[in-house]
C-alpha cells in the first residue's frame, strides 16, 4: 500500500477507522475534528474524515472520503470516494465522485460534476469534468 496514491489513502483511512472502532476509541465510522461544524441534516459515512475548521451544510452527503481542513461543503452536495483539499469551497448541488482529488484553495461552483478529476491549487471550476486533470 502506498498512501501517496489516492485509492490507497482512502483504503488506509477505512482500515484505520475500522481499527479505531474495534478498539472502542470511536463509536462510529466517521471522524470529525472538534472544530468542524456539521449542520443537522448532513449525512456522513461510512469511512469519512472531516478536518479542522470545516463546515458541512445540511443536506450534504459525504461517504468514503476525506475533507481536509478549512473546507466548506454547501447544501445538497454529494461527495463519494474522493479527497477534498484544504480551504476548498464546494458549492450547492455539486457531485464529486470516483477518486476526484482537489488541491488547496479550489472553488467549485454550484451544480458542478467532477468524476475522476485531479484539480491543481488555486482554481475555480464549474461545469462537467470527467477523467481529467485541471491545471
Question: Residue 83 — φ and ψ, nearest 5°?
Answer: -125, 115
pLDDT over threshold 90, residue 1 = no
pTM (2 d.p.): 0.96
Query: How many domains, in total, are found in the chain?
Result: 1
Percent share of the chain, pLDDT over 90? 94
**Model confidence at 105, in pLDDT bands (50, 70, 90)?**
very high
pLDDT at 3: 72
Beta carbons of 47 and 31 less than 8 angstroms apart: no
pLDDT over threshold 80, residue 33 = yes
pLDDT over threshold 70, residue 128 = yes
Could you tell me if residue 18 is left (phi over 0), alpha (psi between -120 and 50 degrees) or otherwise beta?
A: alpha
CATH number (domain holding residue 49): 2.160.10.10
**Model confidence at 51, in pLDDT bands (50, 70, 90)?**
very high
CB 86: neighbour CB atoms within 10 A?
A: 19
Residues of the domain holding 32: 6-134
For residue 1, tell me if it sits in a domain.
no
Residue located via cell numbers 467549485: 108
What is the average per-residue pLDDT within 81-96?
A: 98
pLDDT at 4: 84
pLDDT at 6: 93
Instruction: Return mean pLDDT, the chain.
Output: 96
Amino acid at each position: 500500500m502506498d498512501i501517496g496514491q489516492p485509492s490507497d489513502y482512502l483504503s488506509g483511512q477505512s482500515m484505520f477507522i475500522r481499527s479505531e472502532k474495534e478498539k472502542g476509541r470511536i463509536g462510529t465510522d466517521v471522524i470529525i475534528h472538534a472544530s468542524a461544524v456539521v449542520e443537522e441534516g448532513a449525512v456522513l459515512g461510512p469511512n469519512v474524515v472531516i478536518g479542522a475548521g470545516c463546515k458541512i451544510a445540511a443536506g450534504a452527503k459525504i461517504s468514503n472520503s476525506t475533507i481536509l481542513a478549512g473546507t466548506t461543503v454547501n447544501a445538497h452536495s454529494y461527495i463519494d470516494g474522493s479527497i477534498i483539499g484544504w480551504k476548498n469551497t464546494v458549492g450547492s448541488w455539486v457531485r464529486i465522485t470516483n477518486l476526484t482529488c482537489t488541491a488547496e484553495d479550489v472553488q467549485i461552483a454550484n451544480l458542478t460534476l467532477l468524476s475522476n478529476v485531479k484539480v491543481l491549487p488555486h482554481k475555480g471550476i464549474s461545469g462537467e469534468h470527467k477523467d481529467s486533470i485541471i491545471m
